Copies of this chain bind each other. A is one copy, B any other.
Amino acid sequence: MKTLETRCAEAGLKMTGQRKTILKILEEAEDHPSVEAVYARAKALDSSISIATVYRTLSLLEEMELIIKREFNESFARYDTNTDHHHHMIDLETGEVIEFKNEELERIKRKIAHELGYELLDHRLDMYGRKIKSPL
């Protein structure tokens, strides 16, 4: 798998220090960081970086389909570095986001769309829940 940096360079983008920093952060992100989170991590590596650059870089990457903008029920966006189709379970107590996929679900969704007379182009399933405490 090519790194984000390689893909961006191959697409003809100039690899500035700021971009390398942001790409590295996204490459290593194991969560679904908000713009502010990316900015905070970027600033820790390069204090001169501005939030405008973070916004511009994230928009650019989204347009290139290297990352996905997600809008959960929050007032701000988060970015998903996993571009494979999947869904989310959002832990209402911790804010943690768990990714999952399920073939049966895909099948039913296609079936429902078809029954409604639609070609399914995109969709999102976000589940909100609370971790079940298992007895020790």
Contact = CB atoms under 8 A, between A and B. Distances in A.
A126 interface: yes
A122 B118 contact: no
Interface string A66-108: 0000010100000000000000010110000010101011001
Contacts of A112: 89, 100, 102, 105, 127
A114 to B, nearest CB: 8
A105 B92 CA distance: 22
A2 interface: no
A120 B131 contact: no
B108 A104 contact: yes
Given A118-B131, A118-B132, A132-B118, A113 B126 contact: no
Given A71-B71, A89-B113, A124-B125, A119 B108 contact: no
A126 B127 contact: no
Nearest to A69: B73
A133 to B, nearest CB: 9
Given A117-B134, A118-B91, A132-B117, A109 B123 contact: no
Contacts of A108: 102, 104-105, 108
Interface of A: 71, 73, 89, 91-92, 98, 100, 102, 104-105, 108-109, 112-114, 116-132, 134
